[in-house]
Structure 1
């Protein structure tokens, strides 16, 4: 019996409720055993532009998911030096878990960008892509992807960073522990 595992990649800078709802809905709708959050590495030059460090993003993500027994984090892309491609990661993961069927969850914005992904024609053989509806995107792609519907939430990490930079609160956009962490560590100010 193959384990059905969902993968949700992203910067999670910061992680917010839309990430958690998407992960949970994918798990329920697709009958997945767990969701692995796969944070990308942010190049050092990006941190100078006000983004959180890898360590801070990992800590915030851990705080956001810690109460859900179906959620876990895989930080391999953060540890990798040089460019980190989904293809390389999924090649590793399919070798590590040969009995797993992976569903790679992406938003409507990424669905449209799929043709530009590194080694997409090989990657599509390793994972089942799952497209999530997202406001302002049609989700058109030449690839065969499974679609799920989640409540429309126009929340993005960039919106939250803008609010924080403007001194506006982000209460209710992120889990309470994440909000406390951001305040305590003066992130995105």
Structure 2
């Protein structure tokens, strides 16, 4: 099974790490690939360089043998549409199950993603819930949830795509936007970041302006 975790990781924090660890453990994965995007289709472009984001990501995952990085979106020109990456992955792995890990906030807005109906045919959607979040979907997305949701992990392993699975487990209340604001206001955010990432941010004076 191929597992992908996409995002800006601006910066990567303990919520991301927890989400990835829970996915690896519950789904018995050998490897989970963090896939940083270059120009997000649904968010503002990161205010720091790709190099800084990648360096922090490397520091955050260096001690976990189950974590790796997929650079394809950084190597592609234009907006980082998940559809394009999943199409590439499917072409490279025609029959292998592909798992796409997202947060509940992303799932609630999945129907606003570029050609989302094609995305869910290329992979399994695995959703992780942060504190205070709930599933709130309507219309076509609600119909998809009704037909695709399963609580059986074997369904993901024995089908190449098309299933929806909700992960349960330890939740860490952290968000990159809140962390950036804390750094800007010179508030302590060490409890939300891997130690090495906090050191890197301080060393390179990142997120100290609101640009």
Alignment TM-score > 0.5, same fold: yes
Instruction: Say if 2:39 and 2:79, in contact at 8 Å, map to a contact too.
Output: no
The match for 1:183 among 184, 196, 202 is 202
Q: Is the 8 A contact 1:42 1:54 kept in 2?
A: no
Q: Which residue of 2 aligns with 1:162?
A: 181
Query: Does 2:70 match 1:74?
Result: yes
2:63 counterpart SS class:
coil
Match of 1:113 in 2: 109
Change (3 A) 1:42 1:83: closer
Deviations 1:57-106 (A, max 9, x none): 01100100011111000121122111221011011012223353111111
Deviation at 1:140, TM superposition (A): 3.2
User: Contact conserved, 2:38 with 2:45, CA < 8 A, in 1?
Assistant: no
Contact 2:30-2:66 within 8 A present in 1 as well: yes
Note the aligned Cα RMSD (angstroms).
Answer: 1.6
Alpha-carbon shift at residue 127 of structure 1 (Å)? 0.4
Task: Tell me the TM-score normalised to structure 1 length.
Answer: 0.90
Question: For 2:16 and 2:117, how far apart are their aligned partners in 1?
Answer: 26
1:56 to 43, 52, 56: 52
Does the 8 Å CA contact 2:18/2:171 hold for their aligned counterparts?
no
Structure 1 residues without counterparts, runs of 5 or longer: none
TM-score by length of 2: 0.81
Say whether 1:36 aligns with 2:55: no
Quick check: 1:131–1:139 contact (8 Å CA) kept in 2?
no
Cα distance between partner residues in 2 of 1:92 and 1:46: 23
1:102 aligned to which of 98, 103, 128:
98
Q: Secondary structure of the equivalent of 1:8?
A: strand
Q: Which aligned runs of 4 or more in structure 1 are off by greater than 4 angstroms?
A: none
Q: How many residues align?
A: 182
2:54 is paired with a residue of what secondary structure?
helix
* 1:150-184 deviation line (CA, Å, top 9, x unaligned): 32322101111001000122212111111111111
Segments of structure 2 that go 5 or more residues without pairing to the other structure are 149-163
Structure 1 pair 146–46 and aligned structure 2 pair: CA distance change class (3 A): closer
SS at match of 1:79: coil
